[in-house]
Each structure stands twice: as C-alpha cells, then as structure tokens.
A and B are shown apart, each in its own frame.
Chain A
Amino acid sequence: MDSIKNSLREILRYPSAIFGIVVILMLVALAAYAMIAVPYNEAIRLWRGGEEIWYQNPKFAAPAWINFFSSKKLPESFAVNTVNGTMQKTVTPGAEGTGTVDIAYTFDFTYDDFPQEMFLYFTTKFTEKQPFVSIVWLTPDGREIRIGSFGINQKETYRFSQDDKLKLRLKDENVMQGLFIDPKTKEIVKGKYQLAITGVTFEEGSQIDVEFVSHGLVFGLAGTDHARRNLVLPLLWGAPVALAFGLIASFGVSILTMLIAAIGTWYGGWVDGLIQRITEVNLILPFFPILIMVGTFYSRSIWVIMSVTVLLNIFSGGIKGYRAIFLQVKESMYIEAARAYGASDSRIIIQYMIPRMIPLLIPTLVSSVPSFVFLEASLALLGLGDPVLPTWGKIIEDASVNGALYKGYYYWILEPAILLMFTGLGFAMLGFALDRIYNPRLREI
C-alpha cells in the first residue's frame, strides 16, 4: 500500500504525468458516458442508418459554435413537428365532417446566409377524400408569399427548392434566397418569419400532421457528415473503441512478450532457440502489408485486426530486451533459493521472475498505447476500418474520401484528429514520466 502511495506521490511530481492522467481520465469518462448515453446496439443502428434516421440533418454542416467565432452568422438547423407540439396546430370542425386545420410556426431568422433546404413532411389520415393544404410564407417586413396549394396523400414530402412554380413566383432560381431577401434591396431580411399552413379535411376522422425541417449550414455540437449523420455519435463512440483497441493490444503485446521471454530464458535450450528463431522470422514479415492483406482478404473486424496485430507484435525486438534482463534475473540469489526449496517452474516464472519486470513493463505498456490507437486510425484511413463500428479513424477516412480538405469542411477532419492527438499525447506523456520514475538511470539524466 505504501509503495503504491509512494509511486503515486512520485508521479504527481511530473507535470506531464498529471496532464497525461487528466487526459486519460477524461477519455475514460467520455467513453463511459458514450456507452451509457448511446448503448452499443443503438450506436451501431444510428451509425449504419441512412436517410430515414438522419433526414432532419443537413449534409456537410459545420458545428453550430463556429458562429461564436465568425462575424457572419450561419443559419442553424431545426425540425418542428405538430405531433409533439413543437408546432402549433388548431383544428376547427366544420359542417358535414369537414374540418379546417391551422398550422403555424414562427421563428427568428437573424443569420447572414440562407439555409441549405427546407422540407415539409405531411402525414395524413383519410379513407377516400384527400385533404388539401395551402402554404403561406410571411416575412418580417409584412410581405405574404404564397408557397403552394395542393392535395396531399398519406405521406407527402414537399421540398421548397424543387418547386418550379415557386421559383417563377419568387423570380429567383434559388428558392432559399428568394424567401429570405428583400426583392428590392437584395439583402437578407432579419426578423420573425412565419410559415402558415391551412389545411382542409373532408372526412370524419381525417387528420393532417406536418413536420417542418430546415437544413441550416451549421448543426449541433460537432456538425454532420456526407450521410447527414451527427458527428457527435462517432466522436463519442470513438473513445471507447480507441481505448479498448489501444489498451487491449498494448496489454496483450507487453504481457505476452514478457511471458514468452521469461519462459524462453527460464527453460533455455530448444525453447529459447525456437523463440529466437520465430523472432527473426517475424522481423522479415512485413507487418503493415500483412495487416492490409488481412483486412482486404479475410476480415475487417476490429477484433481480427487486433489479434493479428498482437500476434505479429509479440515476437518483436522487445523480446530480446526482456531476455537480456531475464538472463540476469535468472542468476540472482533469490531464484536460486526458490529452486533449492523446490519451487515449480511456473511458480518461479510467474511469481518470482515476472514481478521483477513490472517496473520495466508499465512504462512500455503505457507508451505503446498511442501507437495502437493510431494503428487503428491508419487502417481506417486506408479503408480497412471496421465496417460496423463508428471510430475516429473512420471519420477521417469519410472526410478524406469526400474531399473535406479540398472543399473546406475542416471541422470534419479536425474534430477526430484533435481527439486522437489528445489520446496519443495523454498516454505518451504519462508513459514518459513513468519511464523516468521506474528507470532511475534516466531520472538522473
């Protein structure tokens, strides 16, 4: 207990270690939050979902907070609905089962650019006679623009920008521009806009419901990608995936390497020889090409890739380093004593030899985490990421495939990149500090 306290006190003397620990704790918290807030199956369903899930979001929208840093305010996205009451709806019954439905939504528009597109999703109930709606757009300066009047089916989508009649009426090819500018000054009119829909139903029990969706140019905390997906989801879920991949791979590699080196040195003879030969053969094998081959030919599952990574990394240069130290440990007095009182081979290896190596193991383990986290991202960048899981690497791949750098969607690459960088830095800095604490030879230097 005291030794743990001591080493903890020692660690806290290094600012870089504190930084590392804080970053790692934050990542763990983020990962835990991700797993609680969006359960695994839900995350996969959302990540793999198409238009039917993400239709409310714009494509390629930057995060909403960039408005704070820019003098040009970009319109935000919103979606309102008569079903959940975010949009007002009043029904007035008329004669012979007919009814009038008044739907109105008033919103403040104080931005300096136009939305990407606006939609109306109608859902109606009727048996024979279609309900009929007419839509009116009221601008802050008191103009009233007739959008359209039409009968609607059970499900009907109205896209403002694709209405050719509306284009004629607005005398503008760009409907969004036509709706938001003053036709004389050609400047954006800011203030309260109202969308008013008047519907008529012709049957008993006939209903009209509307969802009004406006795709702005900015969206939410993290923006959206080419498939309208909210980037918060993969950014959140990238944390547990990266941590799991990095930690499991580095634990697996470090501990197995050490165990194999210990077994080799303890038994010596052909066991040692075999391990040495395998290490040499492994040096010849091209590590990254093999990973690419496994990803292309066999499976892109993150667990398969991780197993291959661990397997190829066990017999690496690290084994020689451990071997050199184990050879010294093997000759020490306490091992001889253990042998004299008849301790078994496995007992000597696991209880006497390996614990001696822990100070050396921990820094290596921590500092090798980033390389595995980045390995996952590298494979994803080559299109060999797990096809199911949302990961940081996958976001970068999507972004680079869709030309984010050329088209200026910088947020798309920067968000996952910054998270990756923090993860890498956190573990690397802690690893560095641990290395200096556990290897006193470095501490003097």
Chain B
Amino acid sequence: MAVDTQVPSEGVKIEKSSFVNNAFMRVARYTAVRLLTLFVTVVVGIYLTINIANMGGYVDEIMKASIRENVTQKILANPANKNMDTETRKGLIVKSIALEEKKMGLDTPVAVRNFRYLSNALVLKLGRALNMSSDHGSREVRLIILERMPATLLLMGTSQLFLFFTSIFFALALSRHYGSFMDKLVITLSPTSAAPPWFYGIFFILIFAAIFKILPFGGIVDAPPPDNVAEYGFSVLKHIILPGSSLVISSFFLSIYNWRTFFLIYSSEDYVEMAKAKGLPPKDIERQYILRPTLPTIITSFAFVLISLWTGAIITETVFLWPGLGRTLYTAVGLYDTPVIIGSTIISAYLLAITVFLLDFIYALVDPRVKVGSGN
C-alpha cells in the first residue's frame, strides 16, 4: 500500500497556492494510478477465475452435449415434424443445434468467449445461469444472487459484527487487566480457533439439536413458514442461533487474543505511560491514547469483515442447510454453472478493490501522519 508518513520539513517553504495545487495533483495522480492498477488486478483475477471455472473449455463439451440431446428430443417429440422424411428431419436437427449453440455463444472459440465473459462480467452484466434458477424460476444470475444475499447477510452480518465488536470490547478490558485470570483463560483458549466453524457446528447440532432437541438441525425457517411476522422472526431467530454461534465461537478467543496483544503493544507506548502519570481516567486513556492511534488498523479490519460478509461461509452454510450465497456457490460449482461462479466472484472482487482503494483515503482522514499518495 502506497501510504507512508510524510517527512514534516518537506514543502514548508513552498507557497500556499502551489502547495494546494501540488497536493491536488498528487492526489489526482495517485488516484488514477491506484485505480488503474486495481482495475488491472481485478481483470487478471477474474480472467483466471473464468478460465478455471470453464475448465479450459471442457464445460463447453458438457453444454454442447446437453444442447444436442435437448434439441433432438424436442424435434422428435414435436407432432408437426411427424410426417417429415428422415433426411429433412436430420437437416432440421443439425440446423437447430447450430442455432442453439450460436444462441449460447458456443460457436465462438473458448478463448474469445472467455474474453466476452470477462467484459460482460466487468460491466456487471452477469447474464443467465446455465442450470440454476432462483426460487421464483428466473435464470438471471443477478436475481439468483440477490435472492440468496439476504440470508447470507443475515447470518454473516449478525455473527461477524457481533464477533468484531465483542472481541474488541473484551480485548480492551483484558488489556487493562493484563495478567488476570480472564486474560490467562483467553490465552489458553485461543488455540481452539484452529478448528473451523463447521467443526463447532457439528458439535452444536449434536448437542442442541440431536440430544436436547431444543434447536433445529438446519434451514432458515420452519417448514411451512409461519404467516405471522412475529412468529416468522422468532423461527428465523431459532434457526440462526446454531450457525451464528459456531461462526462466532470458532474465531472468538483468537480474535480477542490478537486484539488484546495489539492493544497491549500500544498501551506500553510512552505517551500512554505519560497519560497515566498525569492521572487521566482510564476511560479517556482508552479512548484517546489507545483506540485513537489504532483506529486505522481497526478500520482496515472492519472493512475486511464487511467484505467477508459478502462471500458467505460455504461449509457452514452447507452443514446448516442455510440458503445463502456460499451454498449457492457450492451448488453452482457442482452444476458447472460458470456464470453464477463468475458473477459471485466479480462482485467480491469489485468490493475488495473498492475497499482497498477507499482505505487509503480513510487512513489519510483518520491519521494525520498519513498523506494520500506521498512516499513511493
């Protein structure tokens, strides 16, 4: 990241107007270069993903075979074609297959089509899914993704935001009571984060769903879904507890540990000691001397949490039968549905690129030592 601390003496003697001009030029140039490199990065990343998702052209073979079968079946089954002689019918079949392939774009070589996929993806024309459809029966990738997004955002949003804020809160408290029993407990428990969420999920299902039978095994709402809004909400709440808490618990202690260590490093700085010596209340020390300088890091981390909401948790969603994006992506891979895979990748790629881009400016806003585009 091209963010660096500014040497204070630089530009002191320069006239004010030219300084403003310089700053503007610098920011503009920096913005342009940064946007360009990020864009190229996204393009290359998406192109690679497209190639992998296309299996270097093998998906075409699968699609061609299914078109051939469908078209042949359709023509043979059509009563209007009953009296046709074999030759004409064959001709018709060949023509229809060619037409259908052309419609799907299969008459152009894979390499060319990959570029078409790429350019469509880049302008967010996500196209139509090959095999999947939304619950309302639409083939539009956009609609499929939009339909699944609320479930993922609900699950990931509640769990990740809860995780983020509670771990920072606990970490701050622990960094104040460093060496206490709780502190040691968190250190001891932090290796539990070696296991992924689905692992805890299985244990939770076993305990709460299978043995005690107090919470559902999976899904997002009871079947059939309650009509009453309040009951519906309550049912969703019941279903979200297990997947949500497995997502939280699997990174809870490590997250607290990491933040605590991070805060401790900052709270051993001289200016914090100074503030303590001055007798400032701990609340103020925390807010102004520890949280303030660590704000860029907290914001970065928060930004990446926000991005992670989007991708969903593929396995956790699969284990809990949660109808979110992660599970959709997994299904899409199983169905060779390239447009859906690319659609969901391009959106997270854009989100990532935008976040990375914006972070530079946010740093400059929250940290007076940082200037956009300064340094090399």
Interfacial residues, chain A to chain B (CB-CB below 8 A): 16, 277, 280-286, 288-290, 292-294, 296-298, 367, 370-371, 374, 377-378, 381-382, 396, 400, 405-406, 408, 410, 413-414, 417, 420-421, 424-425, 427-429, 431-432, 441-442, 445
Contacts and interface: CB of A to CB of B under 8 A. Distances in A.
Contacts of A370: 194-195
Q: Chain A CB within 10 Å — which of B45, B178, B191, B329 has the most?
A: B191
Contacts of A413: 202, 206
Q: Chain B CB within 10 Å — which of A378, A396, A400 has the most?
A: A378
Nearest to A296: B333
Given A382-B314, A424-B194, A428-B191, 11 more contacts: A284-B42, A293-B333, A297-B52, A374-B195, A377-B199, A381-B319, A382-B318, A382-B330, A420-B195, A428-B192, A441-B265
Contacts of A374: 194-196, 199
B41 A280 contact: yes
Contact of A445 (B42, B44, B264): B264
A328 to B, nearest CB: 16
Interface stretch (B73-81, B93-101, B222-230, B347-355): B347-355
Q: Chain B CB within 10 Å — which of A367, A382, A400, A417 has the most?
A: A382
* Interface SS of A by simple majority: helix
B210 to A, nearest CB: 5
B249 interface: no
Contacts of B44: 281, 284
B49 interface: yes
A127 to B, nearest CB: 55
* Interface SS of B by simple majority: helix
Interface in B195-226: 195-196, 198-199, 202-203, 205-206, 209-210, 217
Interface of B: 37-38, 41-42, 44-46, 48-49, 52-53, 55, 58-59, 178, 187-188, 190-196, 198-199, 202-203, 205-206, 209-210, 217, 261, 264-265, 268, 311, 314-315, 318-319, 329-330, 333-334, 336, 341, 344-345, 348-349, 352-353
Q: Chain B CB within 10 Å — which of A16, A284, A286, A367 has the most?
A: A284
B191 A16 contact: yes
A150 to B, nearest CB: 44
Nearest to B196: A374
A405 B210 contact: yes
Contacts, number: 125
A294 B319 CA distance: 21
Given A16-B191, A290-B49, A405 B202 contact: yes
The list of the 7 closest CB pairs from A to B, nearest first, reads: A284-B45, A428-B191, A370-B194, A424-B194, A428-B194, A297-B55, A445-B264
B194 A417 contact: no
A425 B194 contact: yes
Given A289-B333, A370-B195, A420-B199, A378 B315 contact: yes
Q: Chain A CB within 10 Å — which of B195, B203, B206, B349 has the most?
A: B195
Contacts of A428: 191-194
Contact of A406 (B49, B191, B217, B349): B217
Contacts of A431: 191
A126 to B, nearest CB: 53
A16 B191 CA distance: 10
A428 B42 CA distance: 34
Contacts of B45: 281-285
A20 B336 CA distance: 42
Given A296-B334, A405-B210, A421-B199, A289 B314 contact: yes
Contacts of A441: 265
